[in-house]
Chains A and B, each alone.
Chain A
Amino acid sequence: MTDHGSPNERGPLARAVLGPLSWLEDRTGIGAFIAPIMTHRVPPSAKWFYVFGSATLMFFSLQIVTGICLATLYAPSASNAYQNLVHIDTQVPFGWMLRALHGWSSNAMVAMMILHMVQVFLHATYKFPREMTWMVGVLLCLLTLALAFTGQVLRWDQDAYWGIGIGAAIADRIPFVGNWARGLLLGGPIISGETLSRFFALHVFVLPGITIALVGLHLVLVLRHGISEMPKAGEPVDPATYREAYEKRIHKEGVPFWPDAAKRDMVFCGLALLALVAIALLAGPMGPNGIPDPTDIETNPRPDLPFLWIFGLVSLIPPASETAVMLIAPGVLILGLVLLPLFGNAGERAPSRRPFMVLGVVLAATTVGILTWEGAKSPWSPVMDAWSSMPTPIEYVEDRGPLELQGAVVVQNAQCRNCHELGGEGGKRGPALDDVATRLSYDQLIRQVQQGGGNMPAFGKNLTSAETEAVVRFLLTMHPANEPVSSPPGALLPIPPQAAERR
Chain B
Amino acid sequence: MRATLLLATCGALLAGCGGGALPPGSVEAAPPEAPGLDTAEGVAAFYANACSGCHGADGWHGAARPLADPLWWRTMPDEQIVEATAVGLGRLMPGFSKDAKGGPYIAYAGLDRDDVATFVKGLRKRWETGGEPAPAGSAVRLGDASMGGELFSAHCASCHVEGSRDSVLNPFYLANVTDQGLWSAVVFGRPDLGKAPSSLSPDEIADVVAFMASRRPSWASQGAVEPPLPTSPDPDTTRETSP
Contact = CB atoms under 8 A, between A and B. Distances in A.
Interface of A: 89-90, 93-97, 99-100, 274, 277, 281-285, 290-291, 296, 298-299, 385-392, 394, 397-398, 400-406, 408-413, 417, 446, 461, 464-470, 473, 493, 495-496, 498-500, 502-503
B162 to A, nearest CB: 6
B63 A392 contact: yes
A281 B63 contact: no
A466 B53 contact: no
A393 to B, nearest CB: 9
Question: A-side binding surface: helix, strand, loop or mixed?
Answer: helix
Given A96-B23, A402-B167, A499-B229, A290 B106 contact: yes
Contact of A96 (B20, B51, B54, B224): B20
Contact of B185 (A281, A402, A413, A461): A402
B62 A392 contact: yes
A95 B14 CA distance: 13
Nearest to A395: B61
B92 A493 contact: no
Contact of B225 (A298, A386, A392, A465): A465
Contacts of A394: 56, 61
Given A298-B105, A388-B53, A464-B222, A281 B227 contact: no
Contacts of B130: none
21 contacts: A90-B26, A93-B20, A96-B20, A281-B17, A387-B53, A388-B53, A388-B105, A392-B63, A394-B61, A402-B160, A402-B166, A402-B173, A403-B176, A406-B176, A410-B176, A413-B92, A417-B53, A466-B172, A466-B176, A469-B225, A499-B162
Contact of A461 (B61, B107, B222): B222
Given A410-B92, A464-B175, A464-B221, A397 B105 contact: no
Interface residues of B, number: 61
B49 A466 contact: no
B2 interface: no
B94 A413 contact: yes
Interface string B201-243: 0000000000000000001011111011100000000000000
Question: B-side binding surface: helix, strand, loop or mixed?
Answer: loop
A58 to B, nearest CB: 18
Given A285-B23, A291-B103, A413-B54, A391 B62 contact: yes
Contacts of A389: 48-50, 52-53
B53 A404 contact: no
Contacts of A401: 164-167
Interface string B157-197: 00010111111111111011100000001000000010000
A116 to B, nearest CB: 27
A94 B92 contact: no
B106 A299 contact: yes
Contacts of B222: 461, 464-465
B167 A281 contact: no
Contacts of B227: 465, 496, 498-499
A470 B20 contact: no
A292 B107 CA distance: 16
A406 B229 contact: no
A411 B193 CA distance: 19
B64 A283 contact: no
B154 interface: no
B25 A406 contact: no
Nearest to A297: B106
Contact of B53 (A89, A391, A502): A391
Interface of B: 6, 10, 13-14, 17, 19-26, 48-57, 61-64, 91-92, 94, 103, 105-107, 160, 162-173, 175-177, 185, 193, 219, 221-225, 227-229
Contact of A467 (B14, B91, B94): B91
Of the listed residues A386, A411, A499, the one surrounded by the most CB atoms of chain B closer than 10 A to its CB is: A499
A409 B20 contact: no
A303 B193 CA distance: 44
A148 to B, nearest CB: 20
Contact of A397 (B24, B53, B63, B162): B63
B106 A386 contact: no
A299 B228 CA distance: 38
Nearest to A389: B49
B62 A397 contact: yes
Given A391-B61, A412-B63, A413-B54, 18 more contacts: A95-B20, A284-B24, A388-B52, A391-B54, A391-B57, A392-B63, A402-B167, A403-B165, A403-B173, A406-B92, A406-B177, A409-B54, A466-B172, A466-B176, A470-B173, A473-B165, A499-B162, A503-B162
B52 A398 contact: no
B219 to A, nearest CB: 8
Contacts of A390: 52-53
A483 B21 CA distance: 62
A290 to B, nearest CB: 7
B28 to A, nearest CB: 13
By Cβ-Cβ distance, the 9 closest A-B pairs, closest first, are A408-B63, A466-B175, A401-B165, A96-B23, A284-B23, A464-B221, A498-B229, A469-B172, A94-B20
Contacts of B173: 402-403, 406, 466, 470
Contact of A496 (B6, B63, B229): B229
A26 to B, nearest CB: 36
Contacts of A94: 14, 20
B24 A282 contact: yes
A164 B83 CA distance: 37
A386 B20 CA distance: 39
B172 A470 contact: yes
A193 B26 CA distance: 28
A389 B105 CA distance: 13
